[in-house]
Structure 1
């Protein structure tokens, strides 16, 4: 266990150094959700916000509503880079070199996962900072803030394991960059930008039962001090299912392709 922890720390440091030496990817991942936040708040926020609260709505109401959806979009974009990084490792020969070294096999994937979660939290922090600058306000107490951050970390961890598996199942780096892209669309097809009760029946059914909606509703409730109801249990359940499924899938692919 001590050796595995040491090797995982070394692999994490490797991934963090890649982030520092090649900052363009991180800057792109940070910029995209911030651009969407500005677009939806300042271009569509007046109209969409009026639909949320009538005369009391407007842009101020909409920035409070849309921020949780943008935060999940930030996480979805950040973990997409994980699939690319894993695919590069699998196709450019570095894994073959690792196989000749006395290191823990699982440390390679652990380094990618922890590094990706850190990168995702950087994207979340930058997006939330911008939201605060343009008018987002929260009535949450410190415990509720902690719960919201914890939910974001759990979702980042779950989606990272899923994208690690997606990075290994593809044969090319290009394929790895495209395969996780539907994750970015899920906030749009949920309650991220408009309430689900405004959608047609079929789309509303999908929006209500897809993984991102209970997570967004939980974060929205925690940040605004409103009851979260069953969304907390559903959100945690989806995080556990995605984490476990992604981990088992990634481990099977890694053992099949690497450990011989």
Structure 2
């Protein structure tokens, strides 16, 4: 995978003949475990080789995105959407093919990543900020704004293990959306917190999306895709459809 400098003159994503495979060990051909393995990473299952079942999560995918593209990924659970997002973020290396991403990436894929239950909310803001690619100086300069947006007040001085799941999600969301990104990758965890916080979250996300050059969003929510995206692509057992205009969403979902 090639990650170009954030100072690149043109933000872009170019994926050429991408194939992603995962070996799954100790899985019998007719077992429930095999079914769960497919659902976990998506794609299709090959024959067992040397005790491992090979899962092809993405097969020969080609994709080109340019500034202004907002791509929605659709498909059932296990179709390869999250695997593609992780590959674009650099978390997974291609087995075959190439990925070139020009611009600074913000990957909003896992709200629980990097959370330290024993540390305070403030310390977790710093930790999550570093994971998101912010420098220590950038984190401190944004600390007041992030802390205010969480709405957690004095709880920020308490250990995260005392937080409810909703409180943890609010903190993680506030940090994840404080970044400046050329390429924004988002999985389907946008609806966090109560109704009031969700309104604030959507406004914050819309602002973040408007500032980003490219968005790739995986979701089952039709209204969400129409709100954020202008293009759509369907994943089915690791195989991608052609990229279509978002106005073709209903047609693509029915295919």
**Structures share fold, TM-score greater than 0.5:** no
Q: Point out the structure with the larger strand share.
A: 2
TM category, shorter: under 0.3
